[in-house]
Amino acid sequence: MIKIAICGGSGYTGIELLRILSGHPDAVITAITSEKSAGKGLVELFPHLHKYKDLVYEPLNKEKLLDKADVFFLALPHGASQEAVNFFFRNGKKVIDLSADFRLRDPETYKDWYGLPHDFVPTLKKAVYGLPEIYRNKIRKARLIANPGCYPTSAILGLLPAIKGGLIDLSSIVIDSKSGTSGAGRKADLAVSFCEVNEGFKAYGIGTHRHTPEIEQELSSLSGKKITVNFTPHLLPVDRGILTTIYARLKEKTDTASALNVYKKKYAGEPFVNVLAEGVLPNIKNVRGTNFCELGVKVNERTNTLVIVSVIDNLVKGASGQAVHNMNIMMGIEEDRGLGSLALLP
Amino acid sequence: MIKIAICGGSGYTGIELLRILSGHPDAVITAITSEKSAGKGLVELFPHLHKYKDLVYEPLNKEKLLDKADVFFLALPHGASQEAVNFFFRNGKKVIDLSADFRLRDPETYKDWYGLPHDFVPTLKKAVYGLPEIYRNKIRKARLIANPGCYPTSAILGLLPAIKGGLIDLSSIVIDSKSGTSGAGRKADLAVSFCEVNEGFKAYGIGTHRHTPEIEQELSSLSGKKITVNFTPHLLPVDRGILTTIYARLKEKTDTASALNVYKKKYAGEPFVNVLAEGVLPNIKNVRGTNFCELGVKVNERTNTLVIVSVIDNLVKGASGQAVHNMNIMMGIEEDRGLGSLALLP
Amino acid sequence: MIKIAICGGSGYTGIELLRILSGHPDAVITAITSEKSAGKGLVELFPHLHKYKDLVYEPLNKEKLLDKADVFFLALPHGASQEAVNFFFRNGKKVIDLSADFRLRDPETYKDWYGLPHDFVPTLKKAVYGLPEIYRNKIRKARLIANPGCYPTSAILGLLPAIKGGLIDLSSIVIDSKSGTSGAGRKADLAVSFCEVNEGFKAYGIGTHRHTPEIEQELSSLSGKKITVNFTPHLLPVDRGILTTIYARLKEKTDTASALNVYKKKYAGEPFVNVLAEGVLPNIKNVRGTNFCELGVKVNERTNTLVIVSVIDNLVKGASGQAVHNMNIMMGIEEDRGLGSLALLP
Amino acid sequence: MIKIAICGGSGYTGIELLRILSGHPDAVITAITSEKSAGKGLVELFPHLHKYKDLVYEPLNKEKLLDKADVFFLALPHGASQEAVNFFFRNGKKVIDLSADFRLRDPETYKDWYGLPHDFVPTLKKAVYGLPEIYRNKIRKARLIANPGCYPTSAILGLLPAIKGGLIDLSSIVIDSKSGTSGAGRKADLAVSFCEVNEGFKAYGIGTHRHTPEIEQELSSLSGKKITVNFTPHLLPVDRGILTTIYARLKEKTDTASALNVYKKKYAGEPFVNVLAEGVLPNIKNVRGTNFCELGVKVNERTNTLVIVSVIDNLVKGASGQAVHNMNIMMGIEEDRGLGSLALLP
């Protein structure tokens, strides 16, 4: 059994890890932390997690935690994660960090977008960006995974085949994303209160969202060229799900069947990416509670534009599910262990 | 492996059976029927069920189906189920009927409430009402299970300990139920269209809902006296979940702790009923996607009334999950096989 | 023009007053207060209220406000309202208090349920409970209106004809209410965050909700006997609306048509109560944004029980609309002035 | 009083006309038609429209209707509207057509996208596209208004200042729209049933939606050049509201303040367009139930792209409210008559 510690286990990504791992035959949770709820039983906060009735939140005492687990999942706020990641990594543990602290390879970019210096650059150099569809081989050998952001996961998977296949004009990319409200986290905040979100819809952070440099880093790395993108997130009045609509000018005239073919080839054999048939478009509801990314591809021949629609569950493929996928790869076990359940629909 | 046929597999209870059984280590689906979609692949209708990419809907040809499976789940409309149930049962198969056709032991009552004669009374006599918390021993030996209705499951589980414990005045029972919209089935109907249901809430069928005699039959059977109840269903603007609030006058003065004690004792050891601690009340969100029933109990001492709140997922404990639970009991395997996943929250 | 001050104008009842009064031909808002937002323009907080672009929040300085208005609407928290109401009333102003501070005629009952002493009992004696369907004549001559609570409005209007008509056993009343989330107010609170409320449904405060004594006071006053009731509120995942389902044993056998007749007669001529035809049941969606109460009435002859379903918009008939109705009566103008708009549907 | 007939009055745009006109001091509804509900009272279908208790649906008998009204609003399906519009127009009436039949000036384009010939081209030549912000002067003198589509209204108002101001590269326009479900109409259809739409989100009709040529016609007309656009609609799980996010490359480097200035100047004096301050972005909830369009403007200097966010209520500014606005202009009365109410929020 893999012994697992979850640091920062009272937010939505933390309890999603618990939900997923409760069905993982090789995993056992040996510790869970929460500063605010230290001393409380897990089920006091979350009665629906009754399988974990013996788990009690403890404070994040790194030394005390060190020997309790083999794998450390960190679901701490950005900034707060740096030191803990460094500690567990430097002490020989496997670490999967769900914060943004180790995603941006360039510490200057990190500083520009997050407003903080990166204090552990040597450790940062060891981090592997945990998108298995790109970095599977590196993940296999890694001890530190920077688990991707939810928006970047949906956007990068949507663009990967088009960029690798040389289909599109790299200067023309528009990424219009819509996320369910759980993406904002579990918190008391008027802006995410029911009456403000329900029956509403809005854009936010146009051109300034912190997932922008993460998307650009990976697309630039895929293409070998510096790419900037237009990225706009929106807030959907649903619990879960991200749908990202991507537009890019085609380099040459092509049709939907040909573009789809590039996508299907690229993702053949991927356990968690489904490229839908021509004429079928994805719905966030079809991936709810699952680790799947579904992609719809369409060429608009009137405007010579490739349009890709990418959907994921932001808490699963966009966070905790991908983290478990990364763990499975690191541990050399079947990739879909614990991740096989189908969407809860309706 | 248990070979399973699902008759009527294109509605919400049908696809919920598929979702649940996809995680059942001992089950394999060998046939699925739909009159309207016969000839179509399952994933044409439901892309999210990609694990079943080889299943094709066939028409309900009883003779042809007979040898394909050991256990037959029937999710057909009321009335349409009678003959098929009788056929499979008379030919030696195990049958779990999710319709109402075999729930009412008295064919006259069936006729009164459903407007149809019962044409297979000898088979009806063999049916066991599939509420494991009452009939576990009979289910073990049964070959025909009448799977309970969703409202009755929530109401009966809420009242069982109070009635068996002799706590309440049997003439004073009020059952006020609220159900998610999936309870209405998967269909094109203006009354369940998004813009009619969303941001709305209404009662319907006051005193006339067909689940009334089913509730009364079981409560009467528990108490040994003829019980009539006030039952009012309401339509909630959510996908899944039933919350039933039950009121009954207490025979003698008591307090919440004592009443709770009766409930906790009665359900000790039950794998799918959780009696919550004093002061904690259930939420449908905490059982979403699971086979659990959660119960909150409160004595209103000012009015000498017992108030019970009971929640289930109408598609799981209220239909397909309970059906799988019944199968597990009939087959002599662990009761929670395939039913262990935790609630999808948020 | 009637000059109006709103004290506590940054909550949902405050902005609902502004919305309603923006269509009132005789009203002008001359002052609005908010401690937290003092100094800010109203449209900074609420861009959708652009008609009020010149209104600026000021702190609640009673002396300074006194001369600014003829009518004072107070939408302050319970407890905080006492002193301000007393001040404006004692200085000759007309006061409509939307808090609970002047609703309970017995200061001891107030203390028992709200945990606070009432410091202004002589003023309390002058307050009229602002339910026009009962107290229209008193309201006409009043200078201090205790605007009813949302749940009590729905419950009392639902029971009034049955009690006045002597139809029901007064010891048997069950009031099962379901309210939209705006009833919890505008605030940063995890319990009303979108992901906690959406797709959820729960009961709360069984037997202990503070609206209980308010309902009992008015029902007792109507009947001339001391009545206690079972009252259970629930939280609906919608913005607005209360639906209350009421059960009471009938004193004598009767049928739906006869009971309906009692209701229709009682409310004939009432501008804001609609008794629906036999067989028709109300939906909160049909009163959204309006000051109407809709009532459905049904006799369950099997159990000899009267079932009443009452719906209102909790922010309109349950708060700000009823407050404006009371103002219209006090000022001797047409009762439906500013309150004529139809439901926003869908 | 203006006598008004509504042809096709049982859909969402029909009842929205009734809701809006119920507050219009100069309007009286003299006839309403519905083929399916002919003979039924309006309130049988829509109890919430109790102000119209004397209105009875009649079949669309053009000759019989002719003398009943001065202004004819037609909310008929596309195709079905052609003949009726022509008849009322040729007989001297004022006609406001909410279908698409008279929006496309080129009958060939109409045929290409709607699959139908246009049988009344001489009448088509007389139609004025009813977007007051562009065609106010023509509307004043018109007798036939082609009321704009919902998506086009949001998109054209979002782009108008940028195009007239020469800010953007006309070949680079991406229009990503998200609409509430009422846009799909009032109908029994599995695809818009609650359980399919709720908690879901999807794109549809990428590059093929029939509002595309309408948008292109007006943008081309504004710029004097042939423009094609990428237009993608999505289905939001809300009742009402469209949010359109628009991307276009800037011709020259500029900043948000300068771009905003162009927008503010262009719409100065417009009664129903609000350009929000820098840093503020619109939300569909802020225009719910109103005739307002709210615009947020942002320059992404990293990518040299203008991003515009435009929101409307699809049933008001996107349909019935704009139709009433057009009527007011045609009749020479105040433009905002009957259209002054503020958003219902929450």
Give the pLDDT confidence of C188-241 residue by residue, as tens digits.
Answer: 999 999 999 999 999 999 999 999 999 999 999 999 999 999 999 999 999 999
CA distances for C107 relative to A150, C90, C179, C226, D72, angstroms = 55, 19, 27, 17, 61
Name the token pair of B61.
């040809």
Residues 218 to 237 of D: which have CB under 8 A from any A CB? 228-230, 232, 234, 236-237
List beta partners, residue A145.
A96, A128
pLDDT of residue C19: 98
Name the token pair of B178.
């609220």
For chain D, the average pLDDT equals: 98
Q: Is the minimum CB–CB distance between A184 and chain B shorter than 8 Å? A: no
| Helix or strand (DSSP H, E) at C308 | strand C305-312
Question: Which distant-in-sequence residues (6+ apart) come within 8 Å of B6 by Cβ?
Answer: B14, B17, B18, B29, B31, B32, B33, B73, B75
Of D200, D230, D302, the CB nearest to A283: D200
Name which of B45, B179, B195 to mutate to probe chain D: the one with the most chain D Cβ atoms within 10 A of its Cβ: B195
| Cβ contact B70:B327 at 8 Å | no
Name the minimum distance, in Å, from the CA of C134 to any CA of chain B.
26
d(CA A7, CA A72): 7
**pLDDT tens by residue, B210-243:** 999 999 999 999 999 999 999 999 999 999 999 9
Name the minimum distance, in Å, from the CA of D135 to any CA of chain A.
28
Secondary structure letter of residue C189 according to DSSP = -
Chains that touch B (3 or more CB pairs under 8 A): A, C, D
**pLDDT tens by residue, D171-225:** 999 999 999 999 999 999 999 999 999 999 999 999 999 999 999 999 999 999 9
Positions of chain C with pLDDT lower than 50, given as ranges:
none
pLDDT of residue B175: 98
Secondary structure letter of residue B57 according to DSSP = -
Kindly list the residues from chain A whose CB atom is less than 8 angstroms away from the CB atom of residue C197.
194
pLDDT of residue A267: 98
pTM across the whole model: 0.98
**pLDDT tens by residue, C76-120:** 999 999 999 999 999 999 999 999 999 999 999 999 999 999 999
Long-range CB pairs of C222-228 (<8 Å, 24+ gap) are C222/C134, C222/C156, C222/C159, C222/C160, C222/C163, C222/C164, C223/C163, C223/C170, C225/C170, C227/C170, C227/C171, C227/C173, C228/B302, C228/B303
d(CA D29, CA D50): 14
Name the minimum distance, in Å, from the CA of D194 to any CA of chain B.
4
pLDDT of residue C315: 98
Kindly list the residues from chain D whose CB atom is less than 8 angstroms away from the CB atom of residue B238.
198
Secondary structure letter of residue A119 according to DSSP = S
pLDDT of residue C224: 98
- The residue written with tokens 């369950």 in the block is C300
Instruction: Please state, as a whole number, how many other Cβ atoms lie within 10 Å of the Cβ of residue A278.
Output: 13
pLDDT of residue A222: 98
- Contact at CB, B182 and D199, closer than 8 angstroms: no
Secondary structure letter of residue D52 according to DSSP = G
Buried b / exposed e along D258-275 (16+ C-beta atoms within 10 A):
ebbbbbbebbeebbbbbb
pLDDT of residue A6: 98
Buried b / exposed e along B96-130 (16+ C-beta atoms within 10 A):
bbbbbbbbbeebebbeebbeeebebeebbeebbbb
Q: How many CA atoms lie within 13 A of D289 on its CB side?
A: 22
Residue D261 three-state SS: helix
| Cβ contact B62:B7 at 8 Å | no
d(CA B164, CA C210): 33
Chain C to chain D Cβ contacts (< 8 Å):
75
pLDDT of residue B167: 98
Kindly list the residues from chain B whose CB atom is less than 8 angstroms away from the CB atom of residue A199.
199
Please name the residue of chain D whose CA is at the shortest distance from the CA of residue B191: D188
DSSP readout, D6-27? Answer: EES-SSHHHHHHHHHHTT-TTE
Name which of A13, A276, A342 to mutate to probe chain B: the one with the most chain B Cβ atoms within 10 A of its Cβ: A342
Name the token pair of D199.
């908690």
Q: Are strands D305-312 and D293-300 parallel, antiparallel or unpaired?
A: antiparallel
**pLDDT tens by residue, D295-314:** 999 999 999 999 999 999 99
Positions of chain A with pLDDT lower than 50, given as ranges:
none
Using alpha carbons, select from C280, C278, C223 the residue that is nearest to residue C255.
C278
- The residue written with tokens 């939420």 in the block is B283
pLDDT of residue A200: 98
Kindly list the residues from chain D whose CB atom is less than 8 angstroms away from the CB atom of residue B188.
188-190, 193
Name the token pair of A340.
């096989």
pLDDT of residue B67: 97
**pLDDT tens by residue, D57-93:** 999 999 999 999 999 999 999 999 999 999 999 999 9
Q: Does D293 participate in catalysis according to the annotation?
A: no
